[in-house]
Amino acid sequence: MTDSSAKSGASRRAFLKGAAATGAALGAAGAAHAEGDPLITEVQDWAAGLGDGVDATPYGMPIEFEDHVIRRTVEWLTADTISSINFTPIHALDGTITPQGCAFERHHSGAITLRKEDYRLMINGMVDTPLVFTYEDLERFPRVTRTFFLECAANTGMEWAGAQLNGAQYTHGMIHNMEYTGVTLRTLLEEAGLDAAGDLAGKWVYVEGADASSNGRSIPMEKALDDCMIAFKANGEALRMEHGYPVRLVVPGWEGNMWVKWLRRIEVMDKPVESREETSKYTDTMADGTSRKWTWTMDAKSIITSPSPQMPITHGKGPLVITGLAWSGNGAITAVDVSLDGGVTWQEARLAEPGKPMALSRFYLDIDWDGSEMFLQSRAMDDTGYVQPTKAQLREVRGLNSIYHNNGIQTWHVNAEGEANNVEVS
Ligand SMILES: Nc1nc2c(c(=O)[nH]1)N[C@H]1C(S)=C(S)[C@@H](COP(=O)(O)O)O[C@H]1N2
Ligand SMILES: [Mo]
């Protein structure tokens, strides 16, 4: 590559030498070249004059050197961009919060532009008082803020029959994790009065969006009253248009398809609608040709985001940070194990912080890489005691006909050069 990468390599080595001197465990990372490094000894352009003023970026974008950290599509999957999918660059992110600007999108009839002033949310059906809320109305109910992942049921769906897409972004990038602010669905249902509906057992809500597809889904009342949210902020700011501005439904731990964007109507019913999105789609065909339905929960899953095919090891042997994401729709992640040898032996990774229910967890495993090939795997455990299955275990139960709900353990083969590829081990 260019001069500048060589330069930053040199300054990194200098840093590592400093770290070793203070007793950190990075001693073997390389000799220092601090002496004579113009980046240290010379006054640089950026220090010789003034930087940008505070009026240069009223709303900031990532610096130009990060312009590869973007949503991407897979050409053969993206027949048209209106009814389609793109993928979060999870390989290049760290921490747990997904910036809205690069969080994957899935729309069935394109992303619509809906002004707050034109927004209406209706609650009708088996309620005391059918109601219509404006956006301003919603802002006056008691508010909550909570962080959840949204995973499309089809995430990793192209990998059912074998290793196919080469990159964590493509195999596992139909996921994002945001801090949502809004009101609970329970608050609004209570406002409309659920009592007239009598016994709540067996009741459902049917939720639909304002876009042409409407993406209607039926949700059991227990879930609706438990933790669903009517969200109008994500990561502190207004929802982006592509994520449902001004209001979307949040259905923690359940498949992304139920998180209706541009939410416009909630009907309380005594049975599910059996809409297109819950019959011909989002059902799982088994080996014998029958289909599972109402497979709402996203089971525990994990992925090593680096190293990975888009994130090869470029620094040679020595200290290596292995990192990734884990999540469970059934609760909080309690542990993540990492294997370097395709699942023969496992080591427990470090969680960046204790797992939160139905939110992404970040894990790290710091190793001293000897430069030999690895078959990297990660396996998540949640607080129900569930352990992420191997692909073989999953196929034994579910066959090969499914698209949705593939939470099998992923393998990256890393060769001696540090390049990684999507493979399967038997
Ligand atoms: N109104 C509406 N809601 C929708 C969809 C849609 O097309 N229209 N797509 C669904 C699907 S399949 C998924 S995976 C998530 C994607 O949310 P995102 O685009 O914010 O990532 O939204 C869901 N909600
Ligand atoms: Mo989806």
- pLDDT by residue for the chain (426 residues), tens digit each? 233 333 333 343 333 333 333 334 454 444 456 679 999 999 999 999 999 999 999 999 999 999 999 999 998 888 788 888 999 999 999 999 999 999 999 999 999 999 999 999 999 999 999 999 999 999 999 999 999 999 999 999 999 999 999 999 999 999 999 999 999 999 999 999 986 556 787 899 999 999 999 999 999 999 999 999 999 999 999 999 999 999 999 999 999 999 999 999 999 999 999 898 888 888 989 999 999 999 999 999 999 999 999 999 999 999 999 999 999 999 999 999 999 999 999 999 999 999 999 999 999 999 999 999 999 999 999 999 999 999 999 999 999 988 999 999 999 999 999 999 999 998
- The residue contributing the CA closest to ligand 1 atom 18 is 105
How many A from CA of 242 to the centre of ligand 1? Answer: 9
b/e sequence 284-303, b meaning 16+ C-beta within 10 Å: bbeeeeeeeeebbebbbbbb
Closest-CA residue to 78 (of 174, 181, 216): 174
pLDDT value of position 198: 63
Peptide bond connecting 309 to the previous residue in cis, omega within 30 degrees of 0: no
Mutate to test the pocket of ligand 1, among 98, 214, 215 (most ligand atoms within 8 A of CB): 215
pTM (predicted TM-score): 0.92
Closest-CA residue to 244 (of 111, 139, 141): 111
How many A from CA of 407 to the centre of ligand 2? Answer: 15
The single-letter DSSP state of residue 19 is: H
- The residue contributing the CA closest to ligand 1 atom 12 is 257
The dihedral region occupied by 125, where left means phi > 0, alpha psi between -120 and 50, and beta the remainder, is left
Beta bridge partners of 362: 325
Query: Which ligand sits closest to the CA of 213?
Result: 1
Query: Which ligand sits closest to the CA of 277?
Result: 1
How many A from CA of 243 to the centre of ligand 1? Answer: 7
Nearest atom (ligand 1) to Cα of 103: 21
CA–chain centroid gap for 269, Å, is 31
Strands (E), 235-328: 237-238, 248-250, 263-269, 284-285, 291-292, 301-306, 318-327
Distance CA 170, CA 337 (A): 22
Q: Tokens 């390389």 label which residue?
A: 30
Nearest atom (ligand 1) to Cα of 154: 14
Q: Terminus-to-terminus CA distance in the chain, angstroms? A: 37
Distance CA 68, CA 61 (A): 13
How many A from CA of 119 to the centre of ligand 2? Answer: 24
Strands (E), 81-228: 84-85, 106-107, 120-125, 131-134, 144-151, 175-184, 204-209, 217-220
Cα torsion 395, 398, 399, 405: sign: negative
Tokens of 118: 């034109």
Q: Which helix (H) or strand (E) holds 336?
A: strand 333-339
How many A from CA of 67 to the centre of ligand 2? Answer: 26
How many A from CA of 32 to the centre of ligand 2? Answer: 49
- The residue contributing the CA closest to ligand 1 atom 2 is 261
How many A from CA of 296 to the centre of ligand 2? Answer: 12
pLDDT value of position 2: 32
Fold of the 90-278 domain:
Sulfite Oxidase; Chain A, domain 2 (3.90.420)
Tokens of 140: 């006056």
pLDDT value of position 46: 96
pLDDT value of position 33: 61
How many A from CA of 50 to the centre of ligand 2? Answer: 47
- CB within 8 Å of 12: residues ≥ 6 apart: none
Q: Tokens 């040199």 label which residue?
A: 10
Query: Which ligand sits closest to the CA of 151?
Result: 1
Peptide bond connecting 246 to the previous residue in cis, omega within 30 degrees of 0: yes
Q: What is the gyration radius of the CA atoms in the chain, in angstroms?
A: 24
| Residues 280/281/287/291 CA torsion (nearest 10 deg) | -60
Q: Tokens 């050197």 label which residue?
A: 65
Nearest atom (ligand 1) to Cα of 106: 19
Pocket of ligand 1 (CB under 6 A): 103-108, 150, 152, 176, 209, 211, 213, 215, 242-243, 256-257, 259-262
Query: Which ligand sits closest to the CA of 176?
Result: 1
Fold of the 301-423 domain:
Immunoglobulin-like (2.60.40)
- CB within 8 Å of 152: residues ≥ 6 apart: 85, 104, 106, 174, 175, 255, 256, 257
Strands (E), 347-393: 347-348, 350-351, 361-369, 374-382
Tokens of 392: 């073989």
The domain locations on the chain are 3-45, 90-278, 301-423
Peptide bond connecting 307 to the previous residue in cis, omega within 30 degrees of 0: yes
Mutate to test the pocket of ligand 1, among 259, 275, 282, 296 (most ligand atoms within 8 A of CB): 259
